[in-house]
Amino acid sequence: MGQNLSFHWGVLLVVSLATFILVIDTTIMEVSISALVNDLNIQFSTIQSIITISTLIKAAFMLTGAKLQDLIGRKRTFMVGAAIYGVGTILAVFSQDAAMFLMGWSILEGIGTVMILPATTTFITGTYLGKERAFAFGIWGGIAAAASIFGLIVGGYLTTFYTWRLAFALELVILFIIFAMHRVLKETRPTISWKSFDLWGVFLSVSGLIALVLGILMIKKPSEWMIIPFLIAGGIILLIGFNAWERRQIRKAKITLVDVTIVSQRSFFTGNVIAIGQKFISAGFIFIFPLFYEIVTGATAYETGIALLPMSLSIVVFSILGARLISWLRPKYVLLGGIVLTGAGLAALKDVFSLTTTANDIIPGCLLFGAGLGAILSQVTNLTLSSIESERQTDASGIYNTARQLGSSLGTAIIGIVLAIGFVHGLFSDKPLSLPPGKPLLSLGISEAAVNLGMEWAFIAMILTVICMFVAGIFLNVKSFD
């Protein structure tokens, strides 16, 4: 009995560990940028390009990575992806120049990610049913969200006091555990052949997503705004073409890259809208808070992670609690409650940012914000993917994880530009200049109004997103295929 129970929850442990390393890798990168620039003797713009390429690979090939499960089997896809990711991490750890780091961190880790991440969700839908599935997705989502803060803390500590290489090497230790436990994962039989693989679908989806995501990422660069409409419009046109091609394949009873007809299913569509919103505000917050806290207060990356620790713990606690609450409340109401808590947390944080803000000032709002995110994460993935039949779970997983990648890209780009616009507007306000002694911004002559207004506008944008999520949640029609 003990062995069966261990095996049963071992699947959740393995996929959660995999999700954990994928998330901490991103935040470790955020706190290691300066160290990478100095150690590899490269330009800041080069690192930004490396990050952009990684983002494009993850977003553009997620659908293809998910479909590989039908082509070579779920476990094989996951383990091959983990092996490729591991090789990429080793290259990144031992990098001597930008080219080596690009190959390891952006390309190989990116390819590994698109093979691993969709499989983590299909392993859960294929292993657990009913309340167990809801609990598993709650843990999966909570660990993913908390991992972003963990990456700031541990990555910031190792980078500050030791070396960025050790921070990335931590991922190899977790990968070793995953390989040691691989027997708990069950293989699935391939359902399609290489000969029938939808190459045109791959081409249209990849090119469309690259253009769209690149256009979104360039929003943060005003100097490039002239070409952004062409990239975004081109991406949308290509994706419309992809949708038309896939529907043509369905009519002719041929193999598709993705069954696009599931997008129009009410719960699946609504769940993806909420997931995009959740990633939008999470990515936006994780982008602007370290920016504020480190520049304004002079905190290190490690101190920033410590300041966000209460939020991280709140996410974990409420992702578990939210999964348990469905014994008394409908999942839809737990989700809506989480959205309300998230909005309340953002509202509480909106006006606390100034040149004199301390970690204690943000704790109440962060606890509410984290509680809301945890409750959302305990339900949204399960409600979204459980609305799709088991035979179409690889398609659902690919679309869902691609949507989440888009949400992250939108969050960092749009919230970042809103912050900048509010900051500039505040510089020209009539509010008096406030320069507390000893603050890092003293030498720059930055006004209190600029800091406060920039953060306030960014939080208003996130609150408006939460309102849209709540409206979408109202129309969620819960339907489960166990």
Q: How many CA atoms lie within 13 A of 174 on its CB side?
A: 22
pLDDT of res. 442: 40
pLDDT of res. 446: 54
Query: Among 358-367, 400-409, 435-444, where is mean pLDDT lowest?
Result: 435-444
Structure tokens at 8: 């049963």
pLDDT of res. 13: 92
Check whether 205 has a pLDDT greater than 70.
yes
Residue pair 316/354 in contact by the 8 Å Cβ criterion: no
Q: Of the candidates 97, 94, 142, which has an alpha carbon nearest to the alpha carbon of residue 314?
A: 142
Check whether 27 has a pLDDT greater than 90.
no
Residue 7's pLDDT band, with cuts at 50, 70 and 90, is low
SS3 string, the chain, reads CHHHHHHHHHHHHHHHHHHHHHHHHHHHHHHHHHHHHHHCCCCHHHHHHHHHHHHHHHHHCHHHHHHHHHHHCHHHHHHHHHHHHHHHHHHHHCCCCHHHHHHHHHHHHHHHHHHHHHHHHHHHHHHCCHHHHHHHHHHHHHHHHHHHHHHHHHHHHHHHHCCHHHHHHHHHHHHHHHHHCHHHCCCCCCCCCHHHCCHHHHHHHHHHHHHHHHHHHHHHCHHHCCCHHHHHHHHHHHHHHHHHHHHHHHHCCCCCCCCHHHHHCHHHHHHHHHHHHHHHHHHHHHHHHHHHHHHHCCCCHHHHHHHCHHHHHHHHHHHHHHHHHCCCCCHHHHHHHHHHHHHHHHHHHCCCCCCCCCHHHHHHHHHHHHHHHHHHHHHHHHHHHCCCCHHHHHHHHHHHHHHHHHHHHHHHHHHHHHHHHHHHHHHCCCCCCCCCCCCHHHHHCCCHHHHHHHHHHHHHHHHHHHHHHHHHHHCCCCCCCC
Q: Report the alpha-carbon distance of residue 101 to residue 89 in Å, rounded.
A: 9
Instruction: Express each pLDDT in 48-84 by its tens digit.
Output: 888 889 989 998 999 999 999 988 999 999 999 999 9
pLDDT of res. 427: 62
Instruction: Express each pLDDT in 111-144 by its tens digit.
Output: 999 999 999 999 998 888 877 888 888 888 888 8
pLDDT of res. 297: 74
Q: Report the alpha-carbon distance of residue 452 to residue 431 in Å, rounded.
A: 11
Residue pair 249/261 in contact by the 8 Å Cβ criterion: no
* Between 385 and 203, the higher pLDDT residue: 203
Query: Among 58-62, 242-246, 356-360, 423-427, where is mean pLDDT lowest?
Result: 423-427
pLDDT of res. 448: 60
In degrees and rounded to multiples of 5, residue 192 shows phi and psi of: -135, 165
Instruction: Express each pLDDT in 266-312 by its tens digit.
Output: 888 999 999 999 999 988 888 888 877 777 777 777 788 788 888 88
Q: Report the alpha-carbon distance of residue 105 to residue 293 in Å, rounded.
A: 27
Q: What contacts 96, CB < 8 A, 6 or more positions away?
A: 40
Calculate helix-pair angle for 359-385, 109-127, nearest 10 degrees.
60
pLDDT of res. 444: 46
Q: What is the mean pLDDT of residues 371-386?
A: 88
Residue 103's pLDDT band, with cuts at 50, 70 and 90, is very high
Check whether 319 has a pLDDT greater than 60.
yes
Q: How far is CA 401 from CA 58, 111, 180, 187, in A?
A: 10, 14, 26, 21
Q: Of the candidates 428, 429, 432, 421, which has an alpha carbon nearest to the alpha carbon of residue 454?
A: 421
Residue pair 440/296 in contact by the 8 Å Cβ criterion: yes
Check whether 1 has a pLDDT greater than 50.
no
Please work out, in degrees rounded to the nearest 5, the angle formed at the alpha carbon of residue 330 by the alpha carbons of 328 and 332.
145
Instruction: Express each pLDDT in 145-201 by its tens digit.
Output: 788 778 878 888 888 888 889 989 999 999 999 999 988 888 888 888 888 888 999
For the whole model, what pTM was predicted? 0.85
Instruction: Looking at mean pLDDT, say which of 24-38, 236-250, 445-459 comes out highest.
Output: 236-250
Amino acid at 295: I
For the chain, domain boundaries? 2-197+255-474
Q: What contacts 430, CB < 8 A, 6 or more positions away?
A: none
Return the CATH fold of 2-197+255-474.
Growth Hormone; Chain: A; (1.20.1250)
Residue pair 411/284 in contact by the 8 Å Cβ criterion: yes
Q: How far is CA 245 from CA 130, 262, 389, 406, in A?
A: 35, 15, 22, 22
What percentage of the chain has pLDDT greater than the value 70?
92
Q: Of the candidates 407, 63, 68, 54, which has an alpha carbon nearest to the alpha carbon of residue 206?
A: 63
pLDDT of res. 312: 85
Check whether 10 has a pLDDT greater than 80.
yes
Instruction: Express each pLDDT in 426-482 by its tens digit.
Output: 666 545 444 454 444 443 445 666 677 778 888 899 999 999 999 998 887 765 544
Structure tokens at 357: 């803000």
Residue pair 177/53 in contact by the 8 Å Cβ criterion: no
Q: Report the alpha-carbon distance of residue 394 to residue 321 in Å, rounded.
A: 28
